Structure 1
Amino acid sequence: MTETREAATTPEDLARLFVERVNARDARGAAALYAPDAVMAYPAGTATVGREAIQAVLQRLIDHAPLPFRVEEPLPTVRHGDLALTSTRSADDTGGRVQVARREADGTWLRIIDRPEVPGATA
């Protein structure tokens, strides 16, 4: 059975969709917001590479992080062609969250680089 989820039609959609899916405890859906070759700088000091590895990290985060997460205030997006730098102001004073997104051939956006900060979470 194929799962249908809302696609990110703008780079700004990614943060909202990520929070919605993590709060729904949907690690697979949250990982689907990342390109197959994406890099996530999490846990702190490490690089998690690839959608499958990111899904595993997100599952551990969901299992241990204080949920629900809140959708945070987006800062202005910087775009250059099919790339976008997005960020949000953290609601938990852990610092800014920064992502690089890429527009795919179908016009949707996926994260290719992510640096989340999660207080008290161990992945």
Structure 2
Amino acid sequence: MPNQTRHQPATTPDDLGRFFVERANAGDVEGLVALYEPEAVLALPAGGAAIGHAEIRTVYKAVLAERPAFEPGTQRAAMISRDLALTSTRLVDGAVTVEVAHRQPDGTWLWAIDQPNILG
């Protein structure tokens, strides 16, 4: 299902990381959820995963309740193969994120899999 919210859609996989930082810093839980496919998987720091919009929303409500400040980090150019892309960012604290983005039927991109810290 394409991103049909009031938020600007990601027209490239690389937009997703930038939008994440902007929306997280704005405290925009729904904007963060809109970056994911409806059945996306978000890895959790203590193990396990949040699956789908409802669970991802719950995670981001808890995270943003503490009003953290997110910095952009250094984003690597996405590796794209047809309708899939691998995105990755080295964060300021040295953590590394890795995500799989999927091109939607309307040409926009959403994350299908998100591992926010592969070094943790």
TM over 0.5: yes
Counterpart CA distance in 1 for 2:37 and 2:78 is 19
Indicate the residue corresponding to 1:103 in structure 2: 103
Structure 1 residues 1-30: Cα deviation after superposition (integer angstroms, max 9, x where no partner): x85111100000000101111111011111
- Contact 2:76 2:89 (C-alpha < 8 Å) held by counterparts: yes
Structure with the larger strand share: 2
Indicate the residue corresponding to 2:11 in structure 1: 9
Which secondary structure does the structure 2 equivalent of 1:75 belong to? Answer: strand
Alignment of 1:1-123 (within 5 A): 3-64=5-66, 67-93=68-94, 95-117=95-117
Counterpart CA distance in 2 for 1:74 and 1:52 is 27
**Could you state the TM-score of these two structures normalised by the residue count of structure 2?**
0.89
- Output the aligned Cα RMSD: 1.4
Q: CA deviation at 1:111?
A: 0.3
Q: CA deviation at 1:43?
A: 3.4
In structure 1, what residue type is equivalent to 2:56?
Answer: I
Counterpart CA distance in 2 for 1:25 and 1:50 is 20
- Name stretches of at least 5 consecutive residues in structure 2 with no aligned partner: none
In structure 2, what residue type is equivalent to 1:32?
Answer: A
Identity %: 45
Counterpart CA distance in 1 for 2:5 and 2:12 is 21
Counterpart CA distance in 2 for 1:97 and 1:109 is 17
